[in-house]
Amino acid sequence: MTRRAADRFCAQHLETLELSASAADPLSSKRQLARVKCPVDSSHSVSFSDLQRHVKRCQAAKQVVSSAWFVPDINLVRTEPEQSLAVTAVTRDASITFKEYVKWVAFVEQFYENEIQGTKYNEMPLRQLKYEGLEKRLAELSNKKHAIQQESLISTLGNVGLLLCENCFVEFGAGRGELSRYLNQALLHKYNKEPTYTPSFLLIDRSGGRMKFDSKIIKDSEDLGSKHLIAPIVHRIKTDIKDLDLRKVENNQLQKRSDGKGGIVAISKHLCGAATDLTIQCLMNHRTYRNNSDDSTMHLAGIMIALCCRHQCSYSSYPLEYLAKYGQIDHRGFEILCKMSSWALCGRRLQHRGASDSDKMNIDATGERGDSEDVGYGAKHVDSNNDHNQDHQTHLSRLSISRREEIGFKVRSILDYGRVRNLEDKGFQVELIRYVDKAISSENVCLLALPVQK
């Protein structure tokens, strides 16, 4: 992106510059120069001084407000603290103190040891599966990373009986709709080019996207199916999941079939942070409405979400009640936990990969540095060579890289635990699966939920 001659950065990075520069006084005149994410569509930013005027005329808002399924914030479970957008943004970027890190690392250790370690919530079997009908695609690709992930996810659906043509597949955070496209190809293969029902796909994403696969889903059926095949139904909704009332979607996908067969199967590949929790709440709202009424929409048959980016979880959408056993978690505390979850994948800098635990030092409870040991707030490691890494001396937590990675993975498990418990309490059998090897993707955990049969 280009930048104005008077600015040091382009508009995209001017936001970061101004927020950091004015953190001490978020409402100062200098702060008025900052750009913030548009609350209607966060894929673009706007000058803070123009924010209110922009929201009224944002094209993204015009595209959804007239739709019956657009209900602002219907899938949020709590409100954010009453702060302006500017103050909220600054709070999230504000430096976390050493004492705060000590407090929340202790929380993580206690919660993980008492609630997760050695339980079913910590068991994640590796099930990297293949699907016979997708070999051609794999053979055509030089970079097979995403294809391998999609293949394993589709095979997982088949293993639990959800790969059925009578189901409606709702892809949340669909992007280009690639997962749905290859799921349709798998259906064609399973039914030998003659599905007994017309497959249907509902793609949901808040951005318009380019080079979408919507039309290719239909074309694949024409090319790979028989001449008697009725083309699949494909519909796309452009909206933020937080505003989607699924029971009001007016199209053929969500209408109950006359013979009562089929249900909604929610799918997603790498649904980021808050979007995962918004999706779960969206589905629970739909399920509750259907169970308590004579609604004609399809039942929820299952959920399969490849989890991603837990550092992007939000206070307004996450089921925090499952983490409150050892003390209430406020907005600030939850932001810190989310930030710490990123240590699992981002704690070790590239030049430190493969290094031993030589990036260690000792810090006692007062924060004073020692000479030969690293205290991870209770865990000690011998330092064999302090010259390799100095990251522990500059990181605000004063923890070694390996210790931060350990904490990061525990936070990830804790955040996933809350989601699993939430679904279990709502009548689902839930499992966390490592659907591909870590060498394929570091974000390799899939959440699979099936309603418990009564």
pLDDT computed for residue 50 by the predictor: 80
Between the two ends of the chain, the Cα-to-Cα distance in Å is: 56
Asked if residues 25 and 31 have their Cβ atoms less than 8 Å apart, the reply is yes
What structural domains does the chain harbor? 11-93 (no CATH), 132-308 (3.40.50)
pLDDT computed for residue 393 by the predictor: 62
pLDDT computed for residue 17 by the predictor: 52
pLDDT computed for residue 136 by the predictor: 78
Q: What is the pLDDT of residues 76-104, one digit of tens each?
A: 999 877 553 444 443 444 588 999 999 99
Asked if residues 436 and 128 have their Cβ atoms less than 8 Å apart, the reply is yes
Residue 360 has pLDDT above 60, yes or no: no
Q: Which residue has the higher pLDDT, 28 or 199?
A: 199
Task: Give the number of residues written for the chain.
Answer: 454
pLDDT band at 215 (very low <50, low <70, confident <90, very high): very high
Backbone phi and psi for residue 105, each to the nearest 5 degrees, phi listed first = -65, -40
- Greatest extent of the chain over all pairs of C-alpha atoms, in Å: 77
Phi/psi region, residue 28 (left: phi>0; alpha: psi -120 to 50; beta: rest), is beta
Residue 266 has pLDDT above 60, yes or no: yes
118-125: long-range contacts, CB 8 A cutoff, minimum separation 24: 121/413, 121/416, 121/417, 121/420, 121/432, 122/413, 123/432, 124/432, 124/433, 124/434, 124/445, 125/433, 125/434
Q: What is the pLDDT of residues 286-306, one digit of tens each?
A: 988 777 766 677 899 999 999
Q: What is the pLDDT of residues 149-171, one digit of tens each?
A: 999 999 999 999 999 999 999 99
| Tokens at 240, concatenated | 């933020």
Residue 26 has pLDDT above 90, yes or no: no
Asked if residues 370 and 138 have their Cβ atoms less than 8 Å apart, the reply is no
- Would you say the pTM of this structure is higher than 0.85? no
Backbone phi and psi for residue 353, each to the nearest 5 degrees, phi listed first = -60, 135
Out of 28-37, 221-230, 271-280, 391-400, which region has the weakest mean confidence (pLDDT)? 28-37
pLDDT band at 36 (very low <50, low <70, confident <90, very high): confident
pLDDT computed for residue 354 by the predictor: 44
* Identity of the amino acid at 256: K
